[in-house]
Structure 1
Amino acid sequence: MTRSTRLFIILGVVLALIGGAAYAAVQVTKDTVNTAVPQVDLFGPSEEPSASPSPSASPTPPAGADIKGPLNMLILGRDTREEQKGSPAHGDVVMILHIDKDLTSAYLTSLPRDLLVDIPAFTPSRFRGERSKLTHALTYGARLPGGKYDIALGFQLLAKTVSKYTGIARFDAGAVISFNGYIRLINAIGGVDIYVDQKVVSIHRRPDGVHRATCRGCEHGYSGPRMTYNVGTRHMNGWQALDYARQRYITGSDYARQRHQRQLIKAMFTKLLSGDVLTRPGRFDEVLSELGQTFTFDGRGRKPMEFVYALRNLRPANLTLVGLPGSGVFSGGAYRGERLNGDQTAYFAALRADKLDAWAKSHPKLLNLR
């Protein structure tokens, strides 16, 4: 179990910054937002010409007013394994955010880290291409001579791989989220309220939050009392939210873990837009500071505040969470990876056509409602 699965809770803050109610609160500090969020070229040279902005009207419209939907954003949860110097980069959480033509509703889904995909050849890292797990796309793309890694190059190959699998020709924005400051970030917004949809027993934490002792030969490698999250709505602080979102030795295994990550994202989005995080300057600056240490953004030439304005009408109630079911692939008795069970074909076809509302009505069992 790698640590990057814990971090996708931070996407909630990202959604808040690019979401609707955030605009009114942060427009007076737009320069601060644009500089606080690191911006990196994650997609590389464009394979198609960029659309020219519409001619400016009089008076000049706000920056981002000419951004049109639908939009697709690729989000990566990055496992840097920072405690291991020289360790390769890993992409353990991959999510796709689709925002409709009117820029008022969105759909968020996950791709399994072990999804078996065709990773295309990638000249910058001298990778020849192969069929492997999705998580390896970041590693193969980022790997450079001399044991060095370039995460931006890795993201390029990951994006190409996801595009090939989903048929999404072009992503309009991308983000990389790392570990730094995740517990502080959740605590900075005062914790989150989340509905625990099944009993989850932690393998990592004791009820008091202390890490369980490592134990050779013990179940999952740990010993001692275990934190338990019972069914029902629960307020969680940073370590609890982190711990809850990382558990996979539960009913539904990694697919349940993905669902809990998405639930937590929406819980953070809701908290950010309903509390005083965005209206109290000191509190907002604290969140921005933590965000700057965990989040890298590529708006393909657009600054973060342009997306803040364009998505100013997006609300938590209009963010739909989608779980695409799958199962393990075995060969010769050995585990090879994961494959989705076929529902993804219709889902991504509807996404490309911007008809996910109709798809959702006909696939209610694949929606995470709480």
Structure 2
Amino acid sequence: MSSPPLRAVLGTLASYKPSDGLYASDAARTCPLSANESPHDPLPGIAEAIAAAGATVNRYPDPGCGPLIRALARAHGITEDRIAVGAGSLSLLQALFQAVADPGAEAVYAWPSFEVYPALAALAGVESARVPLTRDAHDLRAMADRITPRTRLVVVCNPNNPTGTALGFDELRAFVESVPPTCLVAVDEAYHEYVRDPAVADALPLCDAHPNLVVLRTFSKAYGLAGLRTGYLVGSAPIVEALRKACLPYAVSSVAQRAAVAALGLGGELMRRVDDTVAERTRVRDTLVGQGWEIPDSQANFVWLGLGPHAEDFGVWCAHRGVAVRAFPDMGVRVSIGSAEDNDRFLTVADAWRSSRQMATAGAGQTLRDRKAART
């Protein structure tokens, strides 16, 4: 029986695959270190806001996200017409790709970076130009050289997902200044709150001088609202006005809006939790380096293990031992920073992997020596 024809590009896209071990049958024993979520339960004030909003779900949410946009405008000291809110920063990225998708348009971004960028480009009909990372970090010079008259969008993930590396303010500013004003630059700062290097860029101050620049943030990571899907974008008023037209109405639920407003009001307490995660990030990285791993300096809530062709094997190894991590085939493995208990469990599993590899290598070497001895 024939089926209705759908766009050919759908046949080229892979379905989103949950991380190995995350949905294992014994899920209660699985350490969820694959999705870069906050390991902390919602604060009481946020839980109360969610409960109160739940009593109104028979009504549509505010399509303009008015209270949330006002709270964000106060937090950043900008006018409300410079902010767009979406169902996670991912939905705003989708709107950006769709907004620039004239025939022949292309988008430039680093690779590996946020794994959904290629799918967003393909679905929008935008050609992807992937620029390889250099030492796990953005190569801004190569990205600038890759921009052509067809380039309508450049995406910079800072800190970069999945490697955790981050760009300095001065180098990011120089890059933005080098991009033609006819090309939109989107800086994806989903992990901004975890940055502790004072030299690392906060792109928001650059928006005033560069109307072709937008900055994306999310409530899914540091604010601990991953399950409610809320993010926002800051840019020039004309760009924001146009992007709001590309966003689906009623996409951000009333529960999500109320929770995000409450989270902004509890920012001090939430950021203390972020400090705890950063301290754990340092401990995990230092321990891994002590075990013999090479780990880039991360400014996000995860660490990167550049395992190359061994990435998938390591992901399966972890899954079989009750630890869910994110494996990127032939590239590496991203490991979220979770609770101290979950982190300890991962460190034990990682150390066992290295030990097993060393034993296998030593065994292979001994076998080769034995064969040579037998021939003599």
So what's the TM-score if we normalise by structure 1? 0.26
Structure with bigger gyration radius = 2
TM-score (ref. length: structure 2):
0.26
More helix by share: 2
The structure showing larger relative contact order (alpha-carbon pairs under 8 Å, at least 6 residues apart) is 1
